[in-house]
Structure 1
């Protein structure tokens, strides 16, 4: 397989059609309309509740996937999902970009057997060794165009927490969930970017290859016009409704309190023995969820967050409202950034929704002086510094933001920012591989914590603790940690939540902590079942 870093002019080109509109549709309403027009295909909505920072004041809608790229069991599979996708795959095959694949290429499916896991190599050699991420690398980074065009060609999807098995020596996972991909991404034909700060909506369609069949170009033009009509017909963005009071009902705890408390106590013993300093066990909650999109609409009101996502794929849905970025790569500047969050307090809101400024300041002070929160946060900064250093040029790692208070509409967080400059020859997927999985969901030391968690948790984590987001053809990556989320299949939702265990943790209190973290998502699903007002 040729490397995507090869800037050879032999890379195939792209045909991009784009239109910028001055109408700002409501992202959820627009997504709901587009979803109804083409049921069954993978699609995604990424948005933020906070439109104050220009860099983050964007919503993204992905429809019309062209090619799926999934890692399941012992192989990665490309599969075309449209005529354009079939042409994209054939273009890469004809150009010699794919050499080590098997399978029936005539029907648009290409199968990549997995390379052996790299062992007995130093860290740099392990990063550069053949990897299960290589087929995704080839699919998204084998195209030629100018930088602005490449930035508009995206693959959306998610990485499961259990992807780490492919790179690190963990105990075998339980057989439950083995049919779910360790990653699934979709090279997309049509993307809608709603820029809330500049008041514009840009719709883009792409045709893959230098000389695509005329019918593909004609279809892209028609689709562009169709999407423009739907955008113009969708009502303008409105503020998220005030959250209704709600409590989670009709759910089952997969690991009951008594058993989970025993697990926490056992993990405290591991800490006392010096195996880890901190560890983050989790447990699942199960509840009926007949309408995931309506549940997501309710969650937007109950728990507005900087990273809100709704991802439909292959009969399952993943949605959530995450407070935390996972990993961000900016290709032009070659920066890698991790923003650990640990420490949260609610805002001092009065019953009428106004802010009690004095009490809000006291809550901030209490958070800044909480020794347990500060110790946990310092540990996460160390983990992030280690992850960034693994892929950065020597001497470029910095902490430009240290334990700052970041305020959102309902909560404030203690946040730090760790940055570095990506080493030559490495890319966003190398950086993601090096950071598996984020310290806020594992513990410290990270690998040992994950090994212990694999032994004590009764099911694989699946999407929980992994990441959701997008890659673009220029090399940018933007992901959020999958927390405060639900994974839905066949009308049943699984909500997972964890707690940070340290030497002086109270097992009973940690049980309560997982319930508190799961409450907003479970309550949103409850509201949706009771006939909420959200999209459907």
Structure 2
């Protein structure tokens, strides 16, 4: 058991940007930054800085691995990764917790790759697997720095305050300017499919829909480039341009994950479940009049509403597996949410978790998110594997934290990039249904990246 929790306010200015403080540990293996981007979006409030995990658990297709210098822990190679993570989480859980409105008081944090779905369902192996990172990797964190962007207050959470880890990080920030080499692309972005190849795949999906194999398929293309310099600097450029409420930066020894996601996957607070699928996208207008016209067009689009409703029904079914009977609701349907580069059509699905289930059960029941597969989910994943040239890796997986109270928040890792060695990869996709038009769907993938690819090419 870890010691009791110490929670205290930190004397830092409200004007201090959380990213500046995180810069002091941005290059450390295991550092994670949950970044609400200080935007005005309803889901933006808290920033969370994590570093120096007590233990880490990773899973790939061949093994589970636990890194823990302080405990002798073991797990079976073929054991379900969600179960292993749950056991590790409970192993470090403190005996006594405190009540607070802060979203995280210590616990597990990390990522789940889209391809982790192979650990849940049997999916064929066709697409090339050329980005070698774990399917899942989580750390156990017993300290955190949290900023409430609504009040401007800073808080420290620590189970071992005598180690002065929070003070050391703040001192490092204050004592020296953090220098990071300028990020620069040294090649053009290159897609893994041409427009004509995309259209051929689009037509194949249409045939599958006409034959009754599926109702909707999310088809994505991947863009790749070579780079030099600091990937942390690239993240700062992206988040400044996008202001996405579920932004995150995760540093590992050999790679980094950069996410500027606007989409919540699953939130769990005191047994209350919420998921907010996005289906339907239009770009922002060049003028206020045009912008409002695009919003109205998206709101009234029969095609986008039908696409959104399919995924709402899928997610209602997914969360019903672990929620109490009769509690699953759709309080918000087809709402337009606006971001710097696009408008999105968003719905909200809620439920109450069964007493016998926890956050890990909820994740497993719903993973991967239906908004980025299609419907029905398993058949959609099979078709995605057939048509997309490369595996998705973290893209369309999830970035999440689960604290020791059992609360969780997680994103769908869209608008997300992976930097490994000197390569950087970025994906974009969209749902294809019966009345989709190929040129419109292709353009939608580009619209979703118009605040990503050009920003990093500057």
TM-score (norm 2): 0.89
- SS in structure 2 opposite 1:499? strand
**Aligned residue in 1 for 2:182:** none
Q: Is 1:258 aligned to 2:233, yes or no? A: no
Q: 2:81 matched to 1:132? A: yes
1:454-503 alpha-carbon deviations (Å, 9 max, x no partner): 12222221101100121111111111111112111012101111121122
Among residues 107, 132, 144, which one is paired with 1:191 in the alignment? 144
Residues 410/502 of structure 1: CA separation in 2 closer, same or farther (3 Å cut): closer
5+ long unaligned stretches in structure 2: 178-184
* In the alignment, structure 1 residue 226 sits paired with structure 2 residue 168: yes
> CA offsets, 1:242-290, max 9 Å, x none?
xxxxx99711112222222211111110011010111011121111232
Q: Deviations over 1:345-372 (max 9, x none)?
A: 445565xxxxx3x554433322221111
Aligned partner of 2:213 in structure 1 is 275
Q: Among residues 115, 135, 140, which one is paired with 1:182 in the alignment?
A: 135
Q: Contact between 1:77 and 1:112, CA under 8 Å: does it hold in 2?
A: no
For residues 417 and 514 of structure 1, what CA distance do their matches in structure 2 show? 23
Q: Does 1:31 align with 2:19?
A: no
Gaps of 5+ in 1: 1-11, 81-85, 94-100, 102-110, 116-130, 208-216, 236-246, 351-355, 528-536
Which region of structure 1 is more displaced relative to structure 2, 263-272 or 498-507?
498-507
Of the candidates 377, 380, 398, which is equivalent to residue 311 of structure 2? 380
Equivalent in the alignment of 2:35: 47
Q: Within 2, Cα distance between the matches of 1:134 and 1:306?
A: 29
Q: What residue number does 2:90 align with? A: 141
Q: Which has the higher helix share?
A: 1
Residues 1:415 and 2:346 aligned together: yes
Specify which of 439, 443, 455 is matched with residue 370 of structure 2: 439
Query: Aligned equivalents of 2:279 and 2:450: distance in 1?
Result: 19
Report matched runs for 1:1-150 at 5 Å: 12-22=1-11, 23-24=13-14, 25-35=16-26, 39-52=27-40, 56-80=44-68, 86-87=69-70, 89-90=71-72, 101=74, 111-115=75-79, 131-142=80-91, 143=93, 144-148=95-99
| Alpha-carbon distance change, 359 to 254 in structure 1, aligned in 2, over 3 angstroms | closer
CA distance in 1, matches of 2:62, 2:90: 23
After TM superposition, the structure 1 = structure 2 runs for residues 297-308 of structure 1, keeping only pairs within 5 Å, are: 297-308=236-247
Q: CA RMSD in A?
A: 2.5
1:42 match: secondary structure:
coil
1:311 aligns with 2:250: yes
Residues 304 and 410 of structure 1 are in contact (CA less than 8 Å); yes or no, is this contact kept in structure 2?
Answer: no
Cα gap change, 1:233 to 1:395, in 2 (>3 Å)? farther
Q: 1:359 to 1:258 in 2, by over 3 A?
A: closer
Call closer, same or farther: CA 1:289–1:190 in 2, change over 3 Å.
Answer: farther
Q: Aligned ranges for residues 200-211 of structure 1 at < 5 Å?
A: 200-207=153-160
* Contact preservation (8 Å) 2:5, 2:96: no
CA contact (8 A) 2:299 2:335 kept: no
The residue that corresponds to 1:344 in the other structure is 281
* Cα shift at 1:175: 5.6
- Partner of 2:436: helix, strand, or coil? coil
In structure 2, relative to structure 1, the CA distance for the partners of 1:178 and 1:135 (3 Å cut) is: farther
For residues 430 and 364 of structure 1, what CA distance do their matches in structure 2 show? Answer: 37
Which range moves more in the overlay, 62-71 or 270-279? 62-71
Match of residue 482 from structure 1: 413
TM-score (norm 1): 0.77
SS at match of 2:188: coil
Q: Please list the CA deviations of residues 185-243 of structure 1 after superposition, one character each: whole Å capped at 9, or x if unmatched.
A: 01124311011112211123334xxxxxxxxx64x2x32332343566799xxxxxxxx
Separation in 1 of the partners of 2:307 and 2:52?
A: 42
SS at match of 1:69: strand
Aligned residue in 2 for 1:491: 422
